[in-house]
Every structure is written in C-alpha cells, then in structure tokens.
C-alpha cells in the first residue's frame, strides 16, 4: 500500500500535468466561485433582511471564508452591479415568480437564457441574483434542504459555461478591473429581457 505522502505527490503530479493547466485553474475558480457566491448571498441578506442572520456554514461553507480582502472587493463590486439589477422592475418581477423548489432543468434553462448571446459581469450577477432569490425564499420558508442543492446548481453551471470566460478575465478579480464595461443599463436590460422571455414561454 502506497504511503499517503507518495499518494499526495502522485496526485499533485497528475494535477500539474492537466492539459494547459486549465483543469487546475478551473478547480481554483470553482472554489473561489463558491466563496464569492456564498459571500454575495450573505451580504444581500444583511442588506435586505438584517434580522435574518445567516452564517457561511448554513450555505455549506466555512466560518470566516469570505474575510479575504481581495474576495471582499470582488463581492463589493458584484453587489454594486446587483444594485442596478434591483432598479429594473421587470427583472425583479420575473425573479420573484421563480419558485424556490423549482426543478434543476428549469433553473438551468433560465440560467442558460441569461447567457444566450454572450457573457458579461452584469449577466454573471443576474445568475447570482436569481440563485440568491431562490435561497432567500428557501430560508424564509424553512426549506433548508434546498439551499445546498441550489448552490451546487450554480457551481455546476459556472463550471460548464462560465469558468473558461472567468479564466480569460484573470479570475473573479477581473470584475474589479472592468467597472466601465458593465455599468450600462443596456447590459442589465438585455439580461432581464432574456430571462423574462424564456421563463414565461416555459410556464404559460
């Protein structure tokens, strides 16, 4: 039987040998995505419903995982984008009609529609905001078993559809360097319109 240290070295060698290093980078991006998303959810709850105190552990995370200053800066920037989304009444209406216990295929269909004609930071936040609203509903309706499932959907979607783009942006820190690109109502309105059309076509 191999020594645990030898097994670890073998695992490290295998990771380093991933084609172009993309697999390793994507794993790091997904780990960061989990922390960023959980921190985003917690900060939005603190803003919108301060009485509903939520710790990272409730969302499947670790205590103080969002304390890193760089990650805090990323989350702060995403929250500023979310403020633009919150001003769009159409988007908010559609978000509020999605049920917390929606099926995975419904979530993925709506999520895919957000990025149907491209990826930008506004649309990434639209995905986060959709999932946040579902988690918020689950918390307030005491359906805690759904929360980790929704988070897993978000991370699965990021891995399948967004991680390569995030890699091109230099990771989540890219949002801090791209302020001037997303702060237009056009990007927000486009995301809202796509979500509206696809969601209502599936449910009417």
Residue 145: count of CB within 10 angstroms of its CB: 9
Q: Using CB atoms within 10 Å of the CB of residue 20, give its burial: 0 to 12 exposed, 13 to 18 middle, 19+ buried.
A: exposed
87: Cβ–Cβ under 8 A, 6 or more apart, which residues? none
27-173 architecture in CATH?
A: Orthogonal Bundle (1.10)
* pLDDT, position 132: 92
Tens digit of each residue's pLDDT (9 = 90 or more) over 65-118: 888 899 999 999 899 888 877 776 766 776 777 776 777 888 888 888 888 778
Residue found under tokens 């209502």: 200
The model carries a pTM of: 0.79
Tens digit of each residue's pLDDT (9 = 90 or more) over 11-52: 333 333 334 445 556 789 999 999 999 999 999 999 888 888
Tens digit of each residue's pLDDT (9 = 90 or more) over 158-189: 999 999 999 999 999 998 877 655 555 445 54
- Tell me which of 144 and 191 has the higher pLDDT: 144
CA distance to 46, 50, 56, 115, 177, per residue, from 183 (Å): 23, 27, 29, 17, 12
Q: Rounded to whole angstroms, how far apart are CA atoms 103 and 186?
A: 30
């Amino acid at each position: 039987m191999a020594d645990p240290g030898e097994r670890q070295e073998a695992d490290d060698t295998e990771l380093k040998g991933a084609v172009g290093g993309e697999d390793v980078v994507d794993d790091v991006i997904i780990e960061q995505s989990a922390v960023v998303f959980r921190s985003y959810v917690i900060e939005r709850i603190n803003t919108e419903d301060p009485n509903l105190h939520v710790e990272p552990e409730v969302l499947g995370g670790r205590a103080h995982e969002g304390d890193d200053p760089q990650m805090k800066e990323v989350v702060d920037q995403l929250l500023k984008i979310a403020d633009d989304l919150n001003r769009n009444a159409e988007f908010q209406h559609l978000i509020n009609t999605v049920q917390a216990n929606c099926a995975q295929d419904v979530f993925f269909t709506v999520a895919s529609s957000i990025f149907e004609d491209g990826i930008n930071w506004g649309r990434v936040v639209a995905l986060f905001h959709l999932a946040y609203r579902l988690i918020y509903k689950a918390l307030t309706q005491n359906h805690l078993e759904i929360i980790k499932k929704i988070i897993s959907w978000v991370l699965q979607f990021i891995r399948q559809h967004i991680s390569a783009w995030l890699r091109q942006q230099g990771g989540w820190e890219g949002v801090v360097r791209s302020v001037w690109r997303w702060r237009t109502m056009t990007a927000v309105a486009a995301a809202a319109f796509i979500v509206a059309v696809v969601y209502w076509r599936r449910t009417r």
